[in-house]
Amino acid sequence: MPQNLLLPLDGRPCNARFPVQLAALGGHSVLAPESKVLGNAREPARLTELDAWLAAQLPEASQLFLSFDTWLYGNLVASRRNPAPLDQLLQRLNQLRQWRERFPDLRIHGFATLLRISNSNDATEERPYWAQHGQAIYRLSWLEHRLSEAVDETLQAEYQRLQRQIPADVLNDYRHLRQRNLAVLQNLLALQAEGVMDQLLIGCDDSGEYGWGVQERQLLETEVAQLNLSDRCLIYPGADELASVLLARVLAPEGPTLNLAWSHPEAQDLCTLYEGRPLSQTLAIQARAVGVALRQNAAEEAVVLWLHNPPHGPQIDQFLDRQQRVPLNTDAVSKLTAALRAGKPVALADLCYANGGDAELLQHLEDQQLLLKLRAYAAWNTNGNSLGMLLAWLKFLGPLLSTDQPLPLSHQRFLLERLADDGWYQGHLRQQLCGHYSEPVTLQSCLSAIHWFNQHFEGWRAQLPPALQGLQVKHLSFPWKRFFEVDLQLCTPRPSET
């Protein structure tokens, strides 16, 4: 039977496991390599093993969903560190033409990222010099773009000072890194224009309003228009949700119509923390990428996509800005609770904070026994990540969303894991386990988290169908040995154990 193949962005659950699970909810089988060969923040993927895996699977494949960051560099983090020269990368890209000739029925879809510029002196995921010069390089990038649009003597003086401050070899290396990434993306557009590749998504990882990345995005958008690729290539903020979005875009051509509702409709055009554009624009481009219709006044039976957005700016990070809280306006969510009580199909995009759910909203819904009535939920990482994954999820479910029948247990289990991970872990527990993101993960961290979840689930059990009432966390790990992401999977007793 023809197979759908996925080469993920890296081995973290959001990139390797979630896309496969979401596709399965829509009845699609997707095969991916073992996560252990996809590398981590310190080690790149084992490209030789991945090449062997592809060689073995491609003859029987109907569609290939390919992360170019992984296939060319070794994964997302490796794309910022890999020293390979451009000509070597372009030679590797030529294999796409060979695949097209050898397997004429194979459809190739790709996703790649525009190199980010991190605004921190942290080299955990960057080149070593980022520990000393990261913020200065970010600021120089911002100033260079800003000054290209308007004269400002004060900003010009700051720009010149930073040019003297950052070592020339450091700046030259980073500019070369960006030029290489841009050249690769331009070559992908050329391959797509040739017909070698079908769909292509380019994610702007941790984008902003100004900077070299923004200028490169604008250049690529111009080339997309010139090559008449606008219906097959999209460039927009995102990274870790790209595989899920691309799978939903291709495998589930028919999507539901979603009726939009906002906690704070007056603030829907607020620029969010990591996208550098209004939230309403991020929502629109993610919906276009996935292929779902959004309506402000859809039919009564339409699924409600509730966007729990911040009431004012600037948006804050759930973990980094932990001392700043946005008080929950219960009047703003009264319509949400009313919709859930009425049994309407509601999917909640919890976007008040970046990097985690609003714990006060979660508690509010739990207290009224409404949290588990949600049809879907997302609150992880950036707002673009949350929206892309959530919309892909809804598209795969399609007509099942608005039915009165219980949704499949696999869907319900995935929902409970998202509430536990995106919501309660990122929105509450992570802050209890560590004071700073660089703290080491320990065995005690895992045991404490498992204990907390299993105690917390006691309040959920009576609201769950019999098959899920024995749920507990038995598997919990931190994939990259850091607190930023957790891998938890819910278990339920086998029939013989109940």
Q: Cβ distance 71 to 7 under 8 Å?
A: yes
- Are 113 and 220 contained in the same domain? yes
* Residues 263, 232 within the same domain: no
Helix, strand, coil in percent for the chain, rounding step 5: 50, 15, 35
The per-residue pLDDT for range 180-206, each reduced to its tens digit, is 999 999 999 999 999 999 999 999 987
* pLDDT score recorded for residue 270: 94
Which of the pair, 251 or 313, is modelled with greater confidence?
251
Residue 302 shares a structural domain with residue 408: yes
Give the predicted TM-score (pTM) of the model: 0.95
Give the pLDDT score at 497. 44
Q: How large is the average pLDDT for residues 169-175?
A: 97
pLDDT at position 496, please? Answer: 46
pLDDT at 171 over 90: yes
Predicted pLDDT of residue 301 = 63
One domain, residues 216 and 339 = no
For CA atoms 155, 156, 157, 160, give the dihedral sign.
positive
Average pLDDT over residues 127-135: 96
Name the domain boundary from 251, 276, 299. 251
CA-to-CA distance for 450 and 447, rounded, in angstroms? 5
pLDDT at 115: 95
The single residue listed with the structure tokens 């450091």 is: 170
What confidence tens digit (pLDDT) does each residue in 346-377 have? 999 999 999 999 999 999 999 999 999 999 99
Residues 188 and 174: their CA atoms lie apart, in Å, by: 21
Q: Do residues 112 and 180 share a domain?
A: yes
Q: Residue 279 class from Cβ within 10 Å (0-12 exposed, 13-18 middle, 19+ buried)?
A: buried
Examine the domain organization and report whether 200 and 80 are in the same domain: yes
- Whether 342 is in a domain gets the answer yes
- Which of 406 and 57 is assigned the larger pLDDT? 57
Over residues 250-267, mean pLDDT: 92
- At 498, the pLDDT band (50, 70, 90 cuts) reads very low
- Assigned domain for 65 exists: yes
pLDDT of residue 334: 92
The pLDDT mean for the chain works out to: 93
Which pLDDT band holds residue 227 (cuts at 50, 70, 90)?
very high
Task: Count up the domains in the chain and report the number.
Answer: 2
Residue 236's DSSP bridge partners are 203
Residues 246 and 311 both lie in one domain: no
Alpha-helical regions (H) of 348-475? 359-367, 383-397, 409-418, 430-433, 443-456
Q: What is the mean pLDDT of residues 108-117?
A: 96
Q: Among 246, 153, 241, which residue's Cα sits nearest to residue 422?
A: 241
Residue 59 lies inside a defined structural domain of this protein: yes
* Inside any domain, residue 14: yes
State yes or no: pLDDT of 316 exceeds 60.
yes
| pLDDT above 50 (res 134) | yes
Give the tokens for residue 12: 């973290």
218 three-class SS: helix
Whether 247 and 261 map to the same domain: the answer is no
- Look up the CATH number of the domain holding residue 237: 3.40.50
Q: Are residues 209 and 341 in the same domain?
A: no
Query: For residue 158, is it within any domain?
Result: no
Contact partners, residue 416, CB within 8 Å, separation at least 6:
372, 460, 468, 471, 490
Residue 286 falls inside a structural domain: yes
Alpha carbon 118 to its chain centroid, in Å, reads 17
Report the distance separating Cα 482 and Cα 480, nearest Å: 5
- Per residue in 272-312, pLDDT tens? 988 888 999 999 999 999 999 999 865 566 789 999 999 99
- Do 207 and 236 lie in a common domain? yes
Asked if the structure places residue 423 within a domain, the reply is yes
Q: Output the CA torsion sign for 346, 349, 350, 355.
A: positive
- Quote the pLDDT of residue 1: 60
Q: What is the per-residue pLDDT for 491?
A: 86
Kindly state whether residues 82 and 98 are assigned to the same domain: yes
Domain that holds residue 237: 3-119+168-251
Residue ending a domain, among 251, 279, 294, is 251
**Rounded to whole angstroms, how far apart are CA atoms 7 and 16?**
8
Per-residue model confidence (pLDDT) at position 405: 73
Does a structural domain hold residue 184? Answer: yes
* pLDDT range class, residue 436, cuts 50, 70, 90: confident
Of 391, 414, 433, which residue sits at a domain end?
A: 433
Same domain, 247 and 295: no
pLDDT of res. 234:
97
